[in-house]
A and B are shown apart, each in its own frame.
Chain A
Amino acid sequence: MYKPLQSLAVLAACAVLPGAVIANDEVKSLTADANNWAIWGGDYAGTRYSELDQINAGNVKDLQVAWTFSTGVLRGHEGGPLVMGDTMYIHTPFPNKVFAINLADQTVKWSYEPKQNPDTIPVMCCDTVNRGLAFADGKVFLQQADTTLVALNADTGELVWSVKNGDPAKGETNTNAPVVINDKIVTGISGGEFGVRGFVVAYNIKDGSQAWKAYSTGPDDEMLIDPEKTTHLGQPVGGDSSLKTWEGDQWKIGGGTTWGWFTYDPETNLVYYGSGNPGTWNPVVRPGDNRWSMTLWARDADTGMAKWVYQMTPHDEWDYDGVNENILVDQEINGEMRKLLVHFDRNGFGYTLDRVTGELLVAEKYDPATNWASHIDMETGRPQVVAEYSTHQNGADVNSEGICPAALGSKDQQPAAYSPKTGLFYVPTNHVCMDYEPFEVEYVAGQPYVGATLSMYPAGKVTGDGSSNMGNFIAWDATKGEIVWSLPERFSVWSGALATAGDVVFYGTLEGHLKAVDSKTGKELYSFKTPSGIIGNVNTYTHDGKQYVAVLSGIGGWAGIGMAAGLEGDTEGLGAVGAYRKLSDYTQLGGVLTVFALPDGA
């Protein structure tokens, strides 16, 4: 039994009185129309599922390239194109260009290129990526690297308003895609490696004035936490829930940045996101749970007040940011329909929660190599940490070896997809482990504040199973916490997946292949090598009644840095020396949009 959220959205959109259109309804109706791809996740729930089925498991093998477009930018291209009606909007990494493309003849309707201080570049930890645009109220919204949030006229590209969201001189930057909810636009902040204090902020879409702002750490009022009403696994969090878990003023440089994806449930008016790592990667110097870093948040979209929180990795010792997307679905668990939130955390556990109450329902490893914790205690929600892999217990200046997953997680930002037809999640994953050695660092504003050395290598080195793959593309049953099938990939799968009613699932690889697989079996049905490695998200739309699939290539991101160089030196015990040919042997830099379609008459 399944009940896709999308159908609810359709009903809700139809019920709106004419004339009473506010932005919220606009986004709902735009996303309810499968001809568009109007928000990063395809819908507010972040399912990355499309009702389109012209391209299906039977004919996807005939897919062809319909047209291509170079962005002229070399760095890592995350995120994906938005399509509304006859126009496609694409974005690039720094300098964050935006192109509006007329789908009728693929000409550029308008383009936007902000002037940003290049000093922003070096304070972006892991490439100058940007995860995309938002659309509503006749405006295209771009959250620039230098933290400027801009609203552009969707017809002309002219700047309507802009607002500064942070200060790059303090290490604050942005990479996230903002989302429009009701009459506000919600965005976050990056800089977890620079001691930035994370927050989420909502601006009014009319004029960019601030509506609310909520920090991840600090006093209750600054976090918009109500000690009596905000809950953690059903219990009120109580007063000073964050302050009590830090030594002295450490929460001020405590991290908990918010650079991931936002999803939203119109029924409860709750916005969902996760917070990132606590400041300094050396856990020894920051005793306590370091709340509310590494936490899932549910906030009222109008007021910002936190309804519930759940900290997945208290007192992080491995850099397992909690920022990955929270996909909202309705599925049956133990014979009962539940409103679920499904989250594949960096820490290697796939979590299923009740999204209304924050109750923890399932927490299981979605990469079997995960070894830093044996399991999650379902009563307390705490991971049972394995002492051998505790970088805190081993202490500063000690190298903890063979920790799985590596800091880039069993999954990083690359968003998963969900098909209500199969009830399965399709998850692009990393299969990488690490050595981690924490040590003392000083905090200086605007300078990296890390305090750990890491080295990463394929998980096979730790599991000893002779495997050499650094990624898997898996199908996951979130009601049971079980892998249904798993496709090994040579490199991390760093591209966002797409599931469609045509029973096909799409994803991209770091080598640059756009792949289509059967949603039930995982059987590969199509593969095409695009001009560069894919870390972007695969999206689909129609134009003139014909279905297209579009993806940005452009190798880079943390995947391009962390693993791109190959692992010649780290092949001991792996047998397959030579299996780790450098990523540069497969692909080179360069941002290109590739659009696929079936041949005419097919």
Chain B
Amino acid sequence: MNVTHGLMPLTLMLVVGFGATSVAEQSSETEKPYVIECDEQGACTVDKATYIGWRTYHSNCHVCHAQDAVGSSFAPSLVDRMQDIDHERFIVSVSEGYTGQIGVMPAWKDNPNVNKHFEELYAYLMARSDGVLAPGKPKRTK
């Protein structure tokens, strides 16, 4: 079992697999909000935070940003957008809401189903955006 906190693109992981050392070298482990473990076949599991982030996302955010955060006719791809914004801006935009060229995003600070899980959402979305988490429901690390 290999453990990655890293930036390895998904396709590469699936095609060639990877060693724990090489990935660890590429990434600065401390900065990553998620923990993803993959076996030699490329089957990955995620930590609790990333999992809860997935769930919170797919019950509140997917109606605009679409399944797997890939974006829709209505709201941008967060796979892309997360690369452009830092943690602080993420928290501010999601709690206060955000209006830009594309449209209006509501504020989430008063929604108890979401406001408890901002960090988990961040973990999930960064994992998607960094290309280390495939679309679909992630499996939790046992």
Q: Which of A121, A441, A442 contacts B103 (CB 8 A)?
A: A121
The 0/1 profile, CB within 8 Å of A marked 1, for residues 103-126 of chain B is 111100011110000000000000
Structural contact, B58 and A560, CB atoms closer than 8 A: no
Structural contact, B110 and A447, CB atoms closer than 8 A: yes
Structural contact, B72 and A560, CB atoms closer than 8 A: yes
Q: Which of B67, B72, B106, B110 contacts A456 (CB 8 A)?
A: B67
Stretch at the interface among A357-365, A514-522, A566-574: A566-574
Residues of B within 8 A of A569 (CB): 68, 134-136
Question: Cα distance A566–B73 when bound, in Å?
Answer: 12
Question: Cα distance A123–B111 when bound, in Å?
Answer: 13
Is A269 on the interface with B (CB-CB < 8 A)? no
What band does the interface of chain B fall in when counting residues whose beta carbon is under 8 Å from A? 20 to 34
Majority SS at the chain A contact face: mixed
Is A565 on the interface with B (CB-CB < 8 A)? yes
B61, closest chain A residue (CB)? A448
Q: Which of B68, B99, B111 contacts A448 (CB 8 A)?
A: B111
Is A598 on the interface with B (CB-CB < 8 A)? no
Structural contact, A453 and B59, CB atoms closer than 8 A: yes
Is B60 on the interface with A (CB-CB < 8 A)? yes
Q: How far is the CB of B63 from chain A (nearest CB, A)?
A: 5
Question: Cα distance A494–B91 when bound, in Å?
Answer: 36
Structural contact, A435 and B66, CB atoms closer than 8 A: no
Question: Cα distance A565–B81 when bound, in Å?
Answer: 15
Question: Cα distance A565–B73 when bound, in Å?
Answer: 8
Structural contact, B103 and A451, CB atoms closer than 8 A: no
Residues of A within 8 A of B74 (CB): 75-76, 127, 556, 560-561
Structural contact, B112 and A122, CB atoms closer than 8 A: no
Interface size of A by Cβ–Cβ distance < 8 Å? Answer: 42
| Given A122-B106, A444-B110, A447-B113, A568 and B64 contact (CB-CB distance below 8 Å) | no
A193, closest chain B residue (CB)? B63
| Given A448-B63, A455-B137, A570-B136, A565 and B72 contact (CB-CB distance below 8 Å) | yes
Question: Cα distance A567–B67 when bound, in Å?
Answer: 9
Question: Cα distance A123–B134 when bound, in Å?
Answer: 29
B134, closest chain A residue (CB)? A569
Residues of B within 8 A of A126 (CB): 63
Question: Cα distance A187–B96 when bound, in Å?
Answer: 33
Structural contact, B135 and A453, CB atoms closer than 8 A: no
B55, closest chain A residue (CB)? A453
Binding site for A on B (CB under 8 A): 54-55, 58-60, 62-64, 66-68, 70-74, 77, 97, 99, 103-106, 110-113, 134-137
* Selected A-B contacts with CB under 8 Å, 20 pairs: A75-B73, A121-B103, A122-B97, A122-B105, A125-B63, A127-B73, A193-B63, A399-B137, A441-B59, A444-B111, A448-B111, A453-B58, A455-B67, A455-B68, A556-B74, A561-B73, A564-B66, A565-B72, A565-B77, A569-B135
